[in-house]
Structure 1
Amino acid sequence: MVKKGWTYLLIAIIAIGGIFLLEYNKPKQINWFPSYVSHHKIPYGTYVLNELMEDFFPSRLSQIHKPPFELLTRNDTVQGTYFFVNESITFEEAELNTLLDWTSKGNSVFIASSSFEGRLLDTLNLEQTSLYNESELKPHFYHQLVNPNLKSKTITFEKDYYTMVFDKIDTLNTVVLGEVYVHSDSTDVIEKHINMIKQPFGEGEIILSTFPKAFTNYFILKDENRNYTAGLLSYLGTEGPILMDNFHKSGKSFYTSPMYLFLNTKEFKWAYYLALIGALIYVIFEGKRKQRAIPVVKPLKNQTLAFTRTIANMYYENKEQQQITQHKIAYFLEYIRTRLHLPTQKLDTSFLRTLAVRSNNSLEDVEALFRLIEKLQSKSQITDMELQDLNKKIEAFKAHVDGKQ
């Protein structure tokens, strides 16, 4: 039976080990979360973009980790192009007013976001709408830059079923920089939609792009898409600082939890899991309630006999044989009443005969015992020998009752 139990345990350990081995060697699932964080190497991070920016604009690039409102209100000397890239960017009213006021003084703002807040669109007389691709099982959106000098080919993006475009623009003040379109199965007519514009604002300019994924790792590293991204970056200009925003991001720019190191590294993560499982196994097998030694509890001693002896010795030492004799006789009569069930009010010849029969004593011994009792009850002074004789006869009587003689 013991060998069978160990066999089952070994099979369980091998099975669990096999499961862990399969899980460890399983290909890591791709994280498609659109974080747009500069140090994220996931598909929709911007690690490659920031590496390229550091290489091509080493002296112009500044990484900004604070909100625009705080930067621009505390430093009046900031100039250049403020570059925002995120899936969605929303400015507070005070922050938007500060940013627009800064732009009107001769600076530039480049915002790549799939959607823009209403206050900014109203300021620039723009409207947005969604462009869906319903003609194919696998969506294809074709993006191209309008400026022929950029020599950028039309590129294809296949990860979204819809994209945001500008439905209405201020044609007098707006310059179209980029377009997007889809192929229709029902008609050969291709309708192009605007997804990137430039508009002057005061002495500066504002550039908006509804295709922020053009700046992600996945897009830049795929095929020849980097040429399209390079065309977009050319609108940052050739002079002046570039303020790279790292505040308005969907993902976390830094992690405060130390567990991120363990859970984000494959080896550390499995070491952490094994430690938890080991702790669980320890709790199951070693954490059981163990039977403690049961202490030997000695039963309480019957102190009645010791107490009786103590009282008797006290009477005996005080030479109170008379009282001892009276107590001895009273207890003996009580013994007859409770043990032999005989009344002791009348100690006549009939009583003595009946007592002799029930107690298994001879009539002579019973008569001798009661003659001694009668004698001692009438005396005022009792010697030690008489008390000992009474005790001896009573004990002998009880011994016959108990069948010991």
Structure 2
Amino acid sequence: MKNSTAYVLFIVLLLGIALWSQVSRPRRFVWMPTYSHYDTQPFGCAVFDSVLSFSLPQGYEVINKPLFVLGREDTARVRNVLVVSNGVELGKNERDTLFRMLERGAKVMLVATWIDSDLEDTLGVHFAMQEFSDVVSEGTELLPPCDTLCWAGGAGGYPERRFTVRSDFMDDGVYMTDVCMPDGWEEYWTKPGHFTRRVWAWQHAWMPGDTSRVRPVAVSFPVGKGELFWVQTPRLFTNYGILDDDHRAYVFRLLNLLKDAPVVRTEVYGDSYEEFIATYDSHGPFDYVLSQPPLRWAFYVVLVTLAFFFCFTARRRQRPVPLLPSPANKSLEFVKLIGTLYFQRETPTELVRKKWLYFADEVQRHTGIDLRDQATAQERASRLSEKTGMAQEDLLPLLTRLDEVLGESARRPDNEEMKRLVDRMNDVLRRL
């Protein structure tokens, strides 16, 4: 194997090992609630939205519009609204729009730890919130690792069921500010000036030394033709909750209450996913780069460019081979030079002899007649006449005179005769 090939293979192997180690290493989870449609972390909603889009019979859509815009759009149709956030703060116009949508028959489910105080006063409820951290915070260290989430028997057509949920995934529940809570959570309670309400699920409010109290975590308020739901477990309406078997059953029991119309989830009231990305605590050299699609593709392009650079520069550099002109044919010039030399030395006899040698070779090569044999000039002229078609009477004088010149005859040819003999031999060669 050449050194250059080994070098290229070594570089490619190193790049492959680096990419494999980066891709195959365990992914670090970030336990920060964003409820974003684009967040694939445990407390994002990318998987949650994907599952609901195939599960709800009337359709499911994620939008980024506030309630007052949805209220204007839904004057001729009814859509149920889902909001998932840590908290929901509504202005006066949005609250008015919310109740108009409910009067027309829409169902709105606010899945949030808290809602604004004006809406609380209107509904006659109050929330109790505990701090939530990535895993366990100082406020939850006194709580048991898991708590019990209870579904009211008969609510929504489902039997009573107990769900095991981490205590730090839930808050202290909802206080009913205007009534004392009796047993039997499936009943309705009323008080003048407030809405009828119903409890769908509750939790045991654990306090040091007292485990008998309970707090609702999912309540609803019928308004006109519609119904307003407040669910205080937003961290279960996430990728984490939808992928856990026990939590998924609880989530779908609540979402089943919205199945009679198309459901839209608005992200206007959720936490900013961009802020989450900006505060992402990276623990690896390429975590942030690979988390951003533009930077990730730029990094891949750089790696491919480096690979091509190594492949092309590793080859042995070669000097360009110069293109030399083909050598000129000097044979004709050489013949002319020799002929000139013989002519200048005034030796026509030698020129005739040289021409004879060439003439005899060409005749033998084309006709097979050897003019150098001992046959007479008559015989040779006869055979040459048969091959060339020339008259024997024209060939005999030529061959006879050439024999005299070759035989050192006393009558040597002059320049004129030399030219005449050469021309006659050329005539014969042209007939071959």
Q: TM-score, normalised by structure 2?
A: 0.51
Map 1:5-404; keep pairs closer than 5 Å. Answer: 27-57=26-56, 59-130=58-129, 136=142, 139-148=145-154, 149-151=157-159, 153-158=161-166, 160=168, 163-169=171-177, 171-172=189-190, 173-182=196-205, 186=209, 189-236=211-258, 238-252=259-273, 262-264=289-291, 272=299
Q: Is the 8 A contact 1:141 1:182 kept in 2?
A: no
Shift of 1:54: 1.1
Per the alignment, do residues 249 and 135 of structure 1 end up closer, same or farther by CA in structure 2, a change over 3 Å counting?
A: closer
Range 261-270 or range 134-143, more displaced:
261-270
Letter matched to residue 174 of structure 1? R
Q: Match of 1:355?
A: none
**How far apart in 2 are the matches of 1:260 and 1:208?**
37
- Find the residue that maps to 1:163 and give its secondary structure: coil
**How far apart in 1 are the matches of 2:74 and 2:294?**
45
Q: Is the 8 A contact 2:204 2:213 kept in 1?
A: yes
Shift of 1:193: 0.8
Per the alignment, do residues 161 and 42 of structure 1 end up closer, same or farther by CA in structure 2, a change over 3 Å counting?
A: closer
- Find the residue that maps to 1:160 and give its secondary structure: helix
**How far apart in 1 are the matches of 2:287 and 2:21?**
23
Q: Is the 8 A contact 1:106 1:205 kept in 2?
A: yes
- Find the residue that maps to 2:88 and give its secondary structure: coil
Q: Is the 8 A contact 1:69 1:99 kept in 2?
A: yes
Shift of 1:141: 2.6
Q: Is the 8 A contact 1:114 1:164 kept in 2?
A: no
**How far apart in 2 are the matches of 1:57 and 1:254?**
30
Per the alignment, do residues 58 and 40 of structure 1 end up closer, same or farther by CA in structure 2, a change over 3 Å counting?
A: farther
Shift of 1:25: 7.1
Q: Is the 8 A contact 1:180 1:195 kept in 2?
A: yes
Structure 1: which 4+ aligned runs deviate by more than 4 Å? 18-26, 131-138, 182-185, 253-257, 265-275
- Find the residue that maps to 1:250 and give its secondary structure: coil
Aligned CA RMSD, in angstroms, stands at 4.1
Range 54-63 or range 203-212, more displaced:
54-63
List runs of 5+ in structure 1 lacking aligned partners. 1-17, 276-405
**How far apart in 2 are the matches of 1:79 and 1:145?**
28
Q: Is the 8 A contact 1:90 1:117 kept in 2?
A: yes
**How far apart in 2 are the matches of 1:67 and 1:260?**
34
Count of residues in Structure 1 that have an aligned counterpart in Structure 2? 259
Q: Is the 8 A contact 1:144 1:228 kept in 2?
A: no
List runs of 5+ in structure 2 lacking aligned partners. 1-16, 132-138, 179-188, 191-195, 279-285, 303-432
Shift of 1:213: 1.3
Identity of aligned residues (%): 20
Encode CA deviations 1:58-94: one digit per residue, 9 max, x unaligned: 5432332222212322552241311111111212221
